[in-house]
Structure 1
Amino acid sequence: MLPNLIDTRLPDVKLLAPRVYADARGHFMESARQAWGALLPGFSGAFVQSNVSLSHQHVLRGLHFQRAPAQGKLLHVLQGEIFDVVVDVRRASPRFGQMASFQLSASKHELLWVPPGYAHGFLVLSEQALVSYQCTAYYSPESEVCLHWNDAALAIAWPVATPLVSERDACGQSLQALQKAGLCL
């Protein structure tokens, strides 16, 4: 069964609301199906890698993107709640530098499609969050780029002023610096 597709302020970024079958025992839902690919802008035809991250409250991961191979991600919050952000980093896009944010939670059951060409990151709002990623390309550390999570030009309204970030994320570059260095897609 196809999920309900929800448009966002960035036309290629989609929220998916799959059908949830709930009863007194709990619930069941499909979190991915090959046929969904036809609904997803920029989908390459297959998910080749599946990742899961566990993060504690106020941890911020991102904003990351991969140059080559560019990587699309279908995210699903399995436990907890996150504030999720995507930024268009495609130089030729009319929406270059525009961002969108989403509050995703396990209780809402929504999935987020982040197509290739978008930086992605999230901040954990709950005590902890377990997030699943279905990826369209294998992780390539040598082609990963880190956009600074707090780039003033993006004006992201993070719900926590001083999140816990990795050393790598703390050293991310501004969108302007990435563009100047030719690192945007």
Structure 2
Amino acid sequence: MKAIPVPAIAGAYLFEPTPHLDERGFFCRTFDADVVRSAGIDPDGFVQDSVSRTRKGVVRGLHLRAGRGEAKLVRCSSGAVFDVVVDVRPDSPTFLGKANFELSGETQVSLYIPAGCAHGFQALTEIADVSYRIDRAHDPAEDLAIAHDDAELAIRWPLPVSLISERDRQAPPLAQVLKR
């Protein structure tokens, strides 16, 4: 497994596993504390694991947390997603930088998203399962969302958006979230 820095988002990393393939399929390590530590991330800092199952065309996000934020390690364990990260940390050298990736069950690549960055994705397959490893317990009072179709961000979702949650539908644009 190797750690690959994401230039557009300071502190973000892709963790690319080395799958062992044979006639049965594959086996690969999806988390390695030593590799995570070598990227400057505390592997013992994660306190919660979660999973979402999403249907094709659905967009989840863009989500972030108020306060000290929330760091995440995300991986598409089955199917495929178009994953987006936006740096909304005013003191970051990559403030307002954005990056997108295709994460899939085929590659098992994990994406580390530093606290203070917004995150969202769109399912590209009929079903996509995304696993999250989170660095602090969830507090719904700190949940924030940015409009997935904010003109300032100009995210080009690869599929027509088939469904979003009511919360995401009512999410304000980035400029309003930054004023908070």
| TM-score, normalised with respect to structure 1 | 0.89
- The structural deviation recorded for 1:137 is 1.0
| Matches for 1:106-117 after TM superposition, within 5 Å | 106-117=105-116
| Matches for 1:16-31 after TM superposition, within 5 Å | 16-31=15-30
Stretches of 4+ aligned residues off by more than 6 angstroms: none
**CA, structure 1 residues 31+85, in 2 after alignment: closer, same or farther (shift >3 Å)?**
same
- The structural deviation recorded for 1:178 is 1.0
**CA, structure 1 residues 43+146, in 2 after alignment: closer, same or farther (shift >3 Å)?**
farther
Q: Residue in 2 aligned with 1:74?
A: 73
Q: Residue in 2 aligned with 1:64?
A: 63
Cα distance in 2 for partners of 1:176, 1:52 equals 30
Cα distance in 2 for partners of 1:111, 1:20 equals 13
Q: Residue in 1 aligned with 2:92?
A: 93
Cα distance in 2 for partners of 1:94, 1:115 equals 13
Match for 2:5: what amino acid? D
Q: Is the 8 A contact 2:2 2:35 kept in 1?
A: no
Q: Residue in 2 aligned with 1:177?
A: 176
Aligned residues: percent identity? 35
**CA, structure 1 residues 152+133, in 2 after alignment: closer, same or farther (shift >3 Å)?**
same
Per-residue deviation, residues 60-119 of structure 1 (Å, max 9, x unmatched): 000001123521111111110100000001122232222111111111221111111110
- The structural deviation recorded for 1:40 is 3.9
Cα distance in 1 for partners of 2:140, 2:58 equals 21
Per-residue deviation, residues 44-68 of structure 1 (Å, max 9, x unmatched): 7421000011011111000001123
Q: Residue in 1 aligned with 2:147?
A: 148
Cα distance in 2 for partners of 1:117, 1:43 equals 17
- The structural deviation recorded for 1:43 is 4.7
Q: Is the 8 A contact 1:43 1:115 kept in 2?
A: no
Cα distance in 2 for partners of 1:90, 1:43 equals 20
Q: Is the 8 A contact 1:83 1:122 kept in 2?
A: yes
Cα distance in 2 for partners of 1:74, 1:65 equals 13
Instruction: Tell me which moved more, 127-136 or 15-24.
Output: 15-24
Q: Residue in 1 aligned with 2:5?
A: 7
Q: Residue in 1 aligned with 2:36?
A: 37
Give SS of 1:95's match. Answer: coil
Unaligned residue ranges in structure 2 (runs of 5+):
none
Unaligned residue ranges in structure 1 (runs of 5+):
none
Match for 1:32: what amino acid? F
Instruction: Tell me which moved more, 163-172 or 42-51.
Output: 42-51
Per-residue deviation, residues 137-164 of structure 1 (Å, max 9, x unmatched): 1111110100111110011111123331
RMSD between superposed Cα atoms in Å: 1.7
Q: Is the 8 A contact 2:83 2:103 kept in 1?
A: yes
Instruction: Tell me which moved more, 121-130 or 42-51.
Output: 42-51
